[in-house]
Amino acid sequence: MTAAEWLRHNAGEIADLTAWHLWLSILPLLIGLLVALPLGRLAHRSRRLYPMLVALAGLVYTVPSLALFILLPKLLSTRILDPVNVVIALSVYTTALLVRVVADGLAAVPADVIQSAHAMGYRSHQRLIRIELPIAVPVIAAGLRVAAVSNVSIVSMAALLGVPQLGSLFTQGFQLHFFTPIVTGVVLSLVIALVLDGLILLAGHSLTPWQPRRSAR
């Protein structure tokens, strides 16, 4: 079978796998961000919690993804094939990465800006929502880009357990000694990573029209 034939035959399945891959990458990103925001704020506010949370996040990040995929079913009483394991594992990684990012982003808000807001009579939550978080957007967005790209790459590991996404093309191709599925999977995975990265970059820019524009990184 030639590459073109294979692609034609499997177009539908490839589209399905791509959709799954997207879903499994993006959902944990959102969950991770939602969890990391309050945790990061907590870490930022407490001198004692910050090193603890950062160290914990570092240790969590140390656990290889494949190991986490396998251990989660035991902890959650889910089946090993359940995509929920992947979503939760990646949410945990994303949170671990972003807790520190959010804390550092908030810490990078200039002290005199905070003092001004304080003295002007902003209440604590008003200051967080209207002043600190908007100013921390560039740092958080940079962290989110790293998390997004990593997620897209990690998701494919779940193929070893049989959870369907683009990684499934790798195992298929490997068993058949056939390059086309593997290359297709790698390319699509790269494209997804690139697109997500670009989208977050754009979103970050549109949320921060106030930033001096330097060349994009």
Partner 1 sequence: MIRFDNVTKAYPDGTVAVDRLSLEAPTGKITVLVGPSGCGKTTSMRMVNRLIEPTSGTITLGGQPVSGTDATELRRKIGYVIQHAGLFPHKNVADNVMALPRLLGLGRREARTRALELLERVGLGPQFADRYPWQLSGGQQQRVGVARALAADPPYLLMDEPFSAVDPVVRAQLQEEFLRLQREIGKTIVLVTHDIDEALKLGDQVAVLREGGRLAQAAAPAELLARPADAFVAGFVGRDRGYRALGFAGTGDGVIPAAEPAVVLGATRAEAEAAALDGWILVTAPGGEPVGWAALDRLDGDRVTEQDLNLSATTARTDGTLRELLDAALSSPSGRGVLVDAEGHLAGTVSPTAVARAIEEAASATAPAGATAGSVEPAAGSAAEAPAGSHL
Partner 2 sequence: MSTSITGWLTDPVNWSGPDGIPAQTLAHLELSGMALAIALVIGVPVGLLIGHTGRGAFLVGGLANALRALPTLGVLMIAVLLITPHIASDLAFTIPSLIVLVLLAVPPILTNTYAGVFAVDAAAVDAARGMGWRGRDILLRVQLPCALPLILSGIRAAALQIIATATVAAYVSLGGLGRFLIDGLAQSDYAQMAGGAILVAALALAVELLLLGLARLLVSPGLTRRVSRRTSPPAVPASATATAQ
Q: What are the residues binding partner 1 (CB under 8 A)? A: 110, 112-113, 115-123, 126, 130-131, 134-135, 137, 208, 210, 212
Shortest approach of partner 1 to residue 115 CB, angstroms? 6
Shortest approach of partner 2 to residue 134 CB, angstroms? 15
Q: Which does 107 bind (CB under 5 to 8 A by kind): partner 1, partner 2, none?
A: partner 2
* CA dihedral over 127, 128, 134, 139, signed as positive or negative: positive
* Interface with partner 2, residue 6, by CB under 8 A: no
Separation of alpha carbons 100 and 142, rounded Å: 12
* Interface with partner 2, residue 137, by CB under 8 A: no
* Interface with partner 2, residue 65, by CB under 8 A: yes
Burial bucket for residue 178 (CB in 10 Å: 0-12, 13-18, 19+):
middle
Q: Which stretch binds partner 2 (CB under 8 A): 7-15, 29-37, 148-156, 199-207?
A: 148-156
What distances in angstroms separate CA 24 from CA 29, 82, 87, 110, 148, one per listed residue?
9, 12, 6, 37, 11
What is the identity of the amino acid at 160?
A: L
Residues 152-191 that bind partner 2 (CB under 8 A): 152-154, 156-157, 159-161, 166-167, 169-170, 173-174, 177, 179, 182-183, 185-186, 189-190
Q: Which is nearer to partner 1, 46 or 115 (CB)?
A: 115
Reference 165, options 22, 30, 69; nearest CA is: 22
What distances in angstroms separate CA 12 from CA 6, 15, 83, 168, one per listed residue?
11, 5, 20, 14
